[in-house]
Amino acid sequence: MERQGVDHLADERSKAEFDVDAMKIVWAGSQHAFDLADRMSKLVSADPVFQKDSRTMLDRKDLFKTTLRKAAYAFKRINELNLTYEEATKLRFFMDESNYMSLHWAMFVPAIKGQGTEEQQEKWLPLAQRLQIIGCYAQTELGHGSNIQGLETTATFDSNTDEFIIHSPTLTSSKWWPGGLGKVSTHAVVYARLMTEGQYHGVHGFVVQLRSLEDHLPLPGITVGDIGTKFGNGAYNTMDNGVLRFDHVRIPRNQMLMRVLQVSREGKCTYSDVPRQLIYGTMVYVRQTIVTAASTALSRAVTIATRYSCVRRQFGSQNGGPETRVIDYKTQQNRLFPLLASAYAFRFVAEWLEWLYSNVTDKLKANNFSTLQEAHACTSGLKSLTTSATADAIEECRKLCGGHGYLCSSGLPELFAVYVPACTYEGDNTVLLLQVARFLMKTVSQLGSGIQPVGTTAYMGRAKHLMKCCSTVERAEDWLEPTPILEAFEARAMRMAASCAQNMAIFSNPEKGFAEMSADLAEVAVAHCQLIVVSKFIDKLKQEVPGKGVKRQLKFLCNIYALSLLHKHQGEFLATSSITAEQASLATAQLRNLYSQVRPNAVALVDSFNYTDHYLGSILGRYDGNVYPKLYEAAWKDPLNDSAVPDGYVEYIKPLLEETIHLSRL
């Protein structure tokens, strides 16, 4: 942690009522995870090559070239230091600059591992791991994203030459958005419609070389480039998201990834013994990493807003004394502390998703698919819930920082711009909620049939009780107990699901009913997913948590998370009679009381994320709280201040001042 000079937040840190070092380990997940992150973050922050202070001021070409330099340097340092794969991944993470390496390691390599045969892995993986080839994941098209089966790119087998012909038959079939594709990748795993003997066999992946390994020029039949500048300064503009078109490009048959489906020399398609459902295991893994990333992005924003709220003083001066810290206003706490609680809630549900991925993978290997649909629905919903909430929360944190939050030097505008695509990639959030809703409707329809709901839908097995039960809360303090909280969330989710199922039954055409009820169904999915997050936070509190006062703080945060959701969605809890109006008022009163418990620990709780100033990238969120001198200093570094007189003065300002521009008379 960079700690130089006076700590302007020392008085805040002295108020902590818990063991901050112990909480850092709880946040990291383990001592090993903490040590790894701590070492790699400090390694990056101490290296001037990874400096990013000027990133938002660079034009696109300079920004991209700078990112290429950092990515190459990172790979060089990884080899020089002989870092493990785990260490290398963390180093790239704390580099905090989206680039082609992210997609190469996170999408291209796993696609070959997951979908390639042993022979294909032996051929491609050593090249990819040594960066002798650089790959991307070319799935999304100009005309299709979420609807994978609607992809238009074709891969037609030619049995005469033993080749596939990769072709983009329409403008909308152009691959569009793959990161690393625009200017860097030499190869791609391209997803296309498999055609053999005039028959369509679904969408499959193909390894296709795009650029020459000699001069990096596109190969014949390939049109490739960058899709243009994206939202925000710096942000995701460090990435070369690309466009790609094929004009009857031929590749050998063995470059189709054939772990699941194999095409013979004669063009016959046969499925291997590998379960096709394995792809869902990969999906669970990817979405688990997205939920983890949500907790990280949210915790960064909350750190900035919390520290700055303790620095900023406005109004409230008594007899010439200091003004009131912004964080001491109840309105600020009411907006900020539920976001702090959400960061912890999302981290713990992400931990549980790690376990779920391992569990699903083991079952798939044993050809046990009993929990697959539920796991897929659960991860789809949590990806949607956490990314939407995080994107909204980052913007709320910007507003919590007042006008200064709008400066790029606050770190919040760039954080928002680089994060918000998470609401769309790996599944549009509304589409994912409707997938969850479809599964929930199926689960409701099977109640009473002998098929027991599993996993996160197990509460639906108590449907009769949940449809009739009444909350037992009589005092505000009762809302501090997990049982009434869980029962209220379960009753709300169950009753909303049952109501939708009942309303859909009116329609003779189920799909028509689903379409008509889709807005309500999305709300059902949100209720279900919020229940999951609340329940996993409560489960975390049942575990042994080391460190003085740590579990007490986590309980405060858990209750704030649950009760803030209950307050925000009060209409649903009341409309379903899950709680009464009086109980809702008691919940709100208890929520307000909890803020005073968290207030003295606020800075310590964000310190527990253990972010260096380099990684945080925010003057407002500096560890030492020395905000105003650094804001003033940063202003003079802007290129616009390179000269006292701006470019354009002679042409456009001076004539106005000298009245040499003739104004038309009305």
Catalytic residues: 426
Contact 488, 403 (CB under 8 A): no
Would you list the DSSP string of 509-538?
SHHHHHHHTHHHHHHHHHHHHHHHHHHHHH
Measuring CA to CA, how many Å separate 325 from each of 13, 305, 518, 599? 15, 13, 45, 12
Contact 394, 299 (CB under 8 A): no
Alpha carbon distance 496, 576 (integer Å): 7
Contact 186, 217 (CB under 8 A): no
Residue partners of 160: CB distance under 8 A and separation at least 6: none
3-class DSSP state of 177:
coil
How far apart are the two ends of the chain, measured CA to CA in Å? 64
Q: Which helix (H) or strand (E) holds 194?
A: strand 187-196
Contact 412, 397 (CB under 8 A): yes
* Best CA proximity match to 41, nearest among 418, 300, 344: 300
- Look up residue 444 and give its amino acid: V
Alpha carbon distance 255, 435 (integer Å): 32
H helix runs in 179-329, sequence order:
278-311
H helix runs in 267-410, sequence order:
278-311, 330-365, 372-400
SS3 content of the chain, % helix, strand, coil (to 5): 60, 10, 30
DSSP 326: G
Contact 428, 146 (CB under 8 A): yes
Backbone phi and psi for residue 368, each to the nearest 5 degrees, phi listed first:
-105, 110
Alpha carbon distance 63, 97 (integer Å): 10
Length of the chain, in residues: 666
Contact 441, 423 (CB under 8 A): no
* Best CA proximity match to 312, nearest among 605, 604, 619: 619
H helix runs in 104-214, sequence order:
109-115, 118-129
DSSP 477: G
Backbone phi and psi for residue 201, each to the nearest 5 degrees, phi listed first:
-125, 30
Alpha carbon distance 538, 533 (integer Å): 9
Alpha carbon distance 429, 493 (integer Å): 19
Measuring CA to CA, how many Å separate 376 from each of 71, 161, 280, 345, 592? 34, 40, 7, 20, 36
* Best CA proximity match to 602, nearest among 642, 572, 632, 560: 560
Beta strands 187-196; 135-138: pairing state: parallel
Burial class (CB in 10 A: 0-12, 13-18, 19+), 114: middle
Q: Which two tokens stand for residue 2?
A: 């960079």
- Look up residue 330 and give its amino acid: K
Q: Which two tokens stand for residue 384?
A: 């949607």
